[in-house]
Structure 1
Amino acid sequence: MPQPHANSILLNSEDNIVVALQDITAGGTAAFVDVPLPGDILRGHKIARRPIAAGENVIRYGQIIGEAKCDIRTGEHVHVHNLGMGAHSQDYRHASANAPLAPITEERTFLGYRRPTGKAGTRNYIGILTSVNCSGSVARFIAEAAEKSGLLDDYPNVDGIVPIVHGTGCGMSGKDEGYATLFRTLSGYAQHPNFAAILLIGLGCEVMQVADLVGGRKIRSDGDLRYMTIQQTGGTRRTIEAGLKELKELAELANKAERTPVPVSEITVGMQCGGSDGYSGITANPALGIASDLLVRHGGTTILSETSEIYGAEHLLTRRAVSVEVGEKLIERVRWWEDYTARNGGEMDNNPSPGNKRGGLTTILEKSLGAAAKGGSSPLTDVYKFGEIVDKKGFVFMDSPGFDPCSVTGQIASGSNIIVFTTGRGSVSGYMPTPCIKLANNSEMYGRMSEDMDINCGDVITDNVSLEDKGREIFEMIIRVASGEKPKSEQLGFGGVEFVPWQIGAVM
């Protein structure tokens, strides 16, 4: 970390750029740069530490983030005007650096809901899950009618009723990759330990049939699943009436659940970043990586995702894979994404958003190296498809887009009972039924948006707080939120529109 009052940071001795920690005006000097700057530099942006020739690799974190599109002088701004992707190839060295971290034997617990499946919830909701877009409005009508009637007034142990609605389930193939992905997602939510009970509602004629979700495999083992279709029940009004009756019975069951001490090994954290900036890989993401390692050392599970946002850093993960097979599973997903973007007229470097670039990020390689820091240093235990149930402890990867609501939807379907989300530009969102902790990458944004942010990681720069101390702070908040403390997004009521299944394939 920088010395007090340093205005730029050198992240690795091999880097040929430094990152500005504050706005620097033309003619000023930057730490680690020997000449006056020829132009203004915004905080979070890169400055050439020495001359960089056209075609030469630009290095940050000791890793390649692209190549110079023209000659770059010492002190010049390094960004989209003079930095491009270049060729992308990696030496994966599968399973070459996977030494396990020392386990922590200290017994830590949280107050959670132990389910009959053996899993543990951090919340106690009733879910109204829809098989298709066509049943979404009726699901909302039922939830609104339950709220107006005060249905939960007599059930203090129930956190609420959550309608899970979406925009798909029909107009799709019934046997392709897109169908399988949606099926996994809906099944994962139906099994989620943060739901004490589920009411599943379909229209009746959709591709994603309720009978398949219920009869194709048993998606609840505790019996707290009820289901109906609008067509068979007799239309909107009768379905609302029938739904309210079912919710009343489900609430009686759900209200029996009580928080009890549960080992922190039952916590599964989905790790996300959104609205990233030049600080992402310096403050919040590596601090979250330390918290991830702490949870893994306690026997818990952390999930890194957003495959399009580890592109350029995947070689750091394959080396940590517990086996060659696990490393190859990750690269198979990367190759799938290269094909997926190509056949849809895109490319992997389309990922950095305008906001990312305004915050100082230039290429997907640079963004990915910062994003991968969320994964800490634990061995990579396994790689899962979107929404696939995570059945192994430790640090794992789940395939997903970089679109945050979609990626989190997959992580929750896979079993995440806590989400931790880092942001530099100021993302606002929340994800029922799983609470979401927001980490601010920089103090300036935290000051503007403190009502949405739970922890300021910008003090790693402004106050020289150590990453280790910040990681411990995050870890302790994870335990408190798992035990019932409400993070800011939950207090604000987020979660009503953030269920976004990944739609793959043709809409017909």
Structure 2
Amino acid sequence: MNARVLKVHPADNVIVALRNLSAGERIEFENETYELPYAVGAKHKFVTEDRQPGEPITMYGVLVGKATQPIRRGEPITTFNLKHDADRYGLEKKEPASWQAPDVSPWQDRTFMGYHRADGSVGTRNYWVIVPLVFCENRNVLILKDAFERELGYAQPEMYRDQVHELLSLYKAGEMDVVKKMQPFVDASQNQTLQHNTQAPNRPFKNVDGIKFLTHEMGCGGTRQDSGYLCSLLAGFINNPNVGGATVLSLGCQHLQVDMISSEIKRQNPKFDKPLLLFEQQAGTEYALMSQAIKETFLGLVEINKIERKPAPLSALTVGLKCGGSDGFSGISANPVLGHLSDNLVALGGKTVLAEFPELNGVEQELINRTPDNAKAQKFITLMGDYSAQAEAVGSGFDMNPSPGNIKDGLITDAIKSAGAAKKGGTALVADVLDYAEPIVTPGLNLLCTPGNDVEATTGMAGSGATVILFTTGLGTPTGNPVSPVVKVSTNTILKNRMPDVIDFDSGPIVDGEQSIGQNADELLEYIIRLASGEVITQAERLGQDDFIPWKRGVSL
């Protein structure tokens, strides 16, 4: 890789700056010389030939926009001279595609230590979940959270509470001058909490990785459709192989009824046999509800604590592929790493899932071509079309997807962002296409309809059965999930060094020319094996970052 610039695809008419390039600088690349009239920041792109208004800009080998004004050779593309555009797609344009599986013989006999469920699935964690069917029960869920986490050793360290206590003590002593002159508290994450301890010494249930408490603002008062989707999602979380049992709290009068969740769990998984505790508050007093829930949940924890980790093949993994806080290096380093890893897992018989449909805008035809089953290809087309039309109906099309942070770091149009995001899916053929909260059952690469919104997407992946989620980021995000470990993969080493308490794995060495995509992906797979075996935990798990936001199926990009 050139130390300063890169052309991603031979057909591209833009070149990516890997370092900050100065105005007037001469760039020698592929027997061509480019003199830059303006500075080009790292992660941004300059054109290889003059462009006139209406002429295409191509990156990753696909159309990513059209010029809105003249752009001189060597000049950077910006939001002022480029607008989003993407190629049209359809089943009638479908071309045959084939895939040569990579050589995975070095991984063929590798295993991880997982929790084997009666239905044949294998979890990377053994959690108990406590969920409300309606927002009216959120308070009760949070009371249970405080009681169980403190007593059973799952509560977060109280370093911030300790800081407030120290400040309060000084205030009571009349020492406000001391408070004002105090140096900032030492960042404990730099010396002790970065240690990835997987087991607190005071936990009585050694085989229970945690109790997870979900809250939400749904279940009643919205549309029946929203309650139906919530029902499918919650059932998916309870069915997730990482969950050993569940406590469900219901008020009693809401749209989402107890019999609905019970039926949906069984519909999704006829072999379901986990402990499932159902409680309705309107059957009596709050005290009676909570006391019974505490007792029976405790007994449930005793039961799932009997389950121990045992060896499982890598084909038992279900891995979500996600990006967020993306930058101009995402499609060059971390996303292709996930794609390489996804291809390896698919070749091993595992399941991977590529979501975020607004971030597949512009690469639809490639994915259609890679879907051998025409009915599934048509399902993808319908889901994409309906989603796009819904967004446009309220004046917020896919072209409005890139955030200010994305644009600042080189993702000028949604098509540029999407073409890079799609690299997470590798090159394997598409095995299945799923709507939000549909279970992942087919080995291979699955496409799952979710928003690009970080938490709505990761929530959807876990609800469909992902047991590990790989999450690439160029800007940094703490996003986590209650039941599926979220591995934060940085696109650049600067980010890894700046946010070590958030990032788990670094793909920056690819940009720096120190590693190939394959080498970095192999290291990441080794990390996943350790993670799935419970030998390490993610930074999001360490921080207790249990983000849960159901998608209401409204417009969310």
Q: 1:217 to 1:45 in 2, by over 3 A?
A: closer
Number of the residue aligned with 2:13: 16
In the alignment, the residues of structure 2 paired with residue 276 and residue 326 of structure 1 have an alpha-carbon distance, to the nearest angstrom, of 29
Q: 1:380 to 1:73 in 2, by over 3 A?
A: same
Number of the residue aligned with 1:356: 406
Q: Which moved more, 1:409-418 or 1:136-145?
A: 136-145
Other structure's SS at 1:154 match = coil
In the alignment, the residues of structure 2 paired with residue 307 and residue 141 of structure 1 have an alpha-carbon distance, to the nearest angstrom, of 37
Q: 1:484 to 1:120 in 2, by over 3 A?
A: same
Q: 1:86 to 1:162 in 2, by over 3 A?
A: closer
Of 18, 27, 30, 1:30 maps to: 27
Matched ranges for 1:482-497 at <5 A = 482-496=532-546
8 A Cα contact 2:99 2:427, kept in partner: no
Deviation at 1:217, TM superposition (A): 5.4
The answer as to 2:215 corresponding to 1:184 is: no
Deviation at 1:38, TM superposition (A): 1.6
Q: 1:96 to 1:136 in 2, by over 3 A?
A: same
Deviations 1:140-192 (Å, cap 9, x if unpaired)? 11121122333884321111111011111111222x3x333222101101111
In the alignment, the residues of structure 2 paired with residue 157 and residue 487 of structure 1 have an alpha-carbon distance, to the nearest angstrom, of 14
Matched ranges for 1:80-479 at <5 A = 80-86=79-85, 88-90=87-89, 93-94=93-94, 96-99=96-99, 101=101, 104=104, 106-150=108-152, 153-174=203-224, 176=225, 178-215=226-263, 218=266, 221-235=272-286, 237-479=287-529
Give 1:101's aligned amino acid: A
Other structure's SS at 1:67 match = strand
What fraction of aligned residue pairs are identical, expressed as a percent? 33
Deviations 1:118-140 (Å, cap 9, x if unpaired)? 11110011110111111112111
Deviation at 1:25, TM superposition (A): 1.7
Other structure's SS at 1:396 match = strand
In the alignment, the residues of structure 2 paired with residue 90 and residue 147 of structure 1 have an alpha-carbon distance, to the nearest angstrom, of 51
In the alignment, the residues of structure 1 paired with residue 339 and residue 529 of structure 2 have an alpha-carbon distance, to the nearest angstrom, of 16
Q: 1:217 to 1:277 in 2, by over 3 A?
A: closer
Deviation at 1:438, TM superposition (A): 1.0
In the alignment, the residues of structure 1 paired with residue 465 and residue 46 of structure 2 have an alpha-carbon distance, to the nearest angstrom, of 42
Give 1:345's aligned amino acid: G
8 A Cα contact 2:352 2:446, kept in partner: yes
In the alignment, the residues of structure 2 paired with residue 338 and residue 269 of structure 1 have an alpha-carbon distance, to the nearest angstrom, of 26
Other structure's SS at 2:101 match = coil
Give 2:381's aligned amino acid: I
In the alignment, the residues of structure 2 paired with residue 165 and residue 100 of structure 1 have an alpha-carbon distance, to the nearest angstrom, of 44
Deviations 1:467-490 (Å, cap 9, x if unpaired)? 111111112212111111334424
In the alignment, the residues of structure 1 paired with residue 127 and residue 285 of structure 2 have an alpha-carbon distance, to the nearest angstrom, of 27
Deviation at 1:215, TM superposition (A): 4.4
Q: 1:359 to 1:121 in 2, by over 3 A?
A: same
Deviation at 1:214, TM superposition (A): 1.8
Q: 1:500 to 1:49 in 2, by over 3 A?
A: same
8 A Cα contact 1:326 1:382, kept in partner: yes
Q: 1:67 to 1:164 in 2, by over 3 A?
A: same
Bigger radius of gyration, 1 or 2?
2
Give 1:123's aligned amino acid: R
In the alignment, the residues of structure 2 paired with residue 51 and residue 464 of structure 1 have an alpha-carbon distance, to the nearest angstrom, of 33
Give 2:57's aligned amino acid: V
In the alignment, the residues of structure 1 paired with residue 473 and residue 318 of structure 2 have an alpha-carbon distance, to the nearest angstrom, of 20
**With structure 2 as the length reference, what TM-score do the two structures score?**
0.86
Q: Which moved more, 1:96-105 or 1:128-137?
A: 96-105
In the alignment, the residues of structure 2 paired with residue 297 and residue 443 of structure 1 have an alpha-carbon distance, to the nearest angstrom, of 30
In the alignment, the residues of structure 1 paired with residue 207 and residue 247 of structure 2 have an alpha-carbon distance, to the nearest angstrom, of 18
Deviation at 1:251, TM superposition (A): 0.8
Give 1:357's aligned amino acid: I
The answer as to 2:502 corresponding to 1:500 is: no
Deviation at 1:204, TM superposition (A): 1.4
Deviation at 1:216, TM superposition (A): 5.6
In the alignment, the residues of structure 2 paired with residue 159 and residue 415 of structure 1 have an alpha-carbon distance, to the nearest angstrom, of 18
Give 2:231's aligned amino acid: F
Q: 1:505 to 1:422 in 2, by over 3 A?
A: closer
Other structure's SS at 2:114 match = strand
Deviation at 1:91, TM superposition (A): 6.0
Deviations 1:222-281 (Å, cap 9, x if unpaired)? 14000101222412x332222210111101111101000011111000110001111111
Deviation at 1:221, TM superposition (A): 2.1
8 A Cα contact 2:479 2:540, kept in partner: no
In the alignment, the residues of structure 2 paired with residue 18 and residue 104 of structure 1 have an alpha-carbon distance, to the nearest angstrom, of 33
Give 2:53's aligned amino acid: A
Q: Which moved more, 1:87-96 or 1:341-350?
A: 87-96
8 A Cα contact 2:436 2:448, kept in partner: yes
Q: 1:170 to 1:98 in 2, by over 3 A?
A: farther
In the alignment, the residues of structure 1 paired with residue 253 and residue 141 of structure 2 have an alpha-carbon distance, to the nearest angstrom, of 17
Deviation at 1:505, TM superposition (A): 5.5
Number of the residue aligned with 1:72: 71
8 A Cα contact 1:138 1:240, kept in partner: yes
Give 1:405's aligned amino acid: V
Deviation at 1:87, TM superposition (A): 6.0
**With structure 1 as the length reference, what TM-score do the two structures score?**
0.94
8 A Cα contact 2:145 2:213, kept in partner: yes
Deviations 1:8-49 (Å, cap 9, x if unpaired)? 111122211101111112122234363432222110001111
Q: Structure 1, unaligned stretches of length 5 or more?
A: none
Q: 1:18 to 1:91 in 2, by over 3 A?
A: farther
Deviation at 1:387, TM superposition (A): 0.9
Give 2:251's aligned amino acid: L
Q: RMSD across aligned C-alpha pairs, in angstroms?
A: 1.9
In the alignment, the residues of structure 2 paired with residue 165 and residue 470 of structure 1 have an alpha-carbon distance, to the nearest angstrom, of 37
8 A Cα contact 1:94 1:321, kept in partner: no
Deviation at 1:104, TM superposition (A): 4.1
Deviations 1:338-391 (Å, cap 9, x if unpaired)? 211022221111100000001101111111100000001111001001111111
8 A Cα contact 1:22 1:42, kept in partner: yes
8 A Cα contact 2:64 2:86, kept in partner: no
In the alignment, the residues of structure 1 paired with residue 312 and residue 332 of structure 2 have an alpha-carbon distance, to the nearest angstrom, of 33
Give 1:149's aligned amino acid: E
Q: 1:467 to 1:242 in 2, by over 3 A?
A: same
